[in-house]
Amino acid sequence: MHDTDYSRRDLIGGFSVTAMMLGSLSASGTAHAALGNAPGLPDLSDPLVNLHSFMKLHGSLEEIDSPWWYTGIIYGQQEKQAPKALFRFEGCEINRYRANPNGDGYIQSGRTLTFFRDLESEKMIETWANPYTGKVLVPKSNTLGGDDNFLLSTNGLRFKSQLSKIPDKTLKLNWYAMGDMIWMIKDRGLAEMPQPWLECSSTFGWVKEIADPKIKRAESWFSSTYIAPWLPWMEMKDVPGHMVWHAAGRKLKSVNDLPPKYLARARKEAPQQLDATPRK
């Protein structure tokens, strides 16, 4: 994998907030106003307002790091059997937007680092006994990201390396609002990925922050479900079934707000994943 893109293997191998955004953000259609009842919302059918509102919720309109912290549980699923909880996970994703020098939207860089935790004790695991195969395995932390991975504009969120292969399509977001809360719902499946492969997520924020032009970075949080093949390090390539990731998390002001134990391990093992500044 080249450092400036997400590979097919990466998208199979782990959870990513940004990966959850791909595909659905490049869907055909037109931007539309939020469904619901929330007086004071800006006109989200305006393509630029739509884009900037997404950026405020997902990151910031300023060129700064926007870290997310998330936790969740991974389940195994085999045909005609009850889902089996396997282990927990904890991670951080950091996103940064900067104006594209050619004037076409924004360039996004980002990095993700996920560790795995024991289902019962919630301690970070060094080995894991696979209940399907009996093998004792060493979990591999999930790392994603590189330099200036994506182009985000009113034409969607797309891999920079794939721009010539992806036609311009209006950035379509499904917005909903009620009272003081606003949220986006997204889902996508990629036919070219090993199946099953499906992602569904909801990202939440406050109406007043989306509506206020002086606010460049809105408080936000999310919940998501991700269906995908077994992780490569589980050594289950020929075992029938798949995984279901369920996660929730929120955006932080700084990586220093991450839980101390997670932050200490990240700084020791993969400090480069704690900064989304494009590498030279």
Q: Which residue in the block uniquely carries the two structure tokens 């009850």? A: 82
3-state secondary structure at position 209: helix
**Ordered strands of the 84-99 beta sheet:** 35-37, 175-178, 181-188, 198-206, 220-228, 242-251, 66-77, 84-99, 106-117, 142-153, 156-159
- Of residues 240 and 170, more confidently modeled: 240
Report residue 33's pLDDT band, with 50, 70 and 90 as the boundaries: low
What is the domain partition of the chain in residue ranges? 8-274
What pLDDT is recorded for position 254? 96
Angle at 168 between CA 163 and CA 170, to 5 degrees: 130
pTM here is: 0.85
Tell how far CA 216 is from the center of its chain.
20
Q: Which two tokens stand for residue 243?
A: 């995984």
Question: Is a pLDDT exceeding 90 seen at residue 273?
Answer: yes
Higher pLDDT, 173 or 27: 173
Instruction: Identify the H or E element spanning 93.
Output: strand 84-99
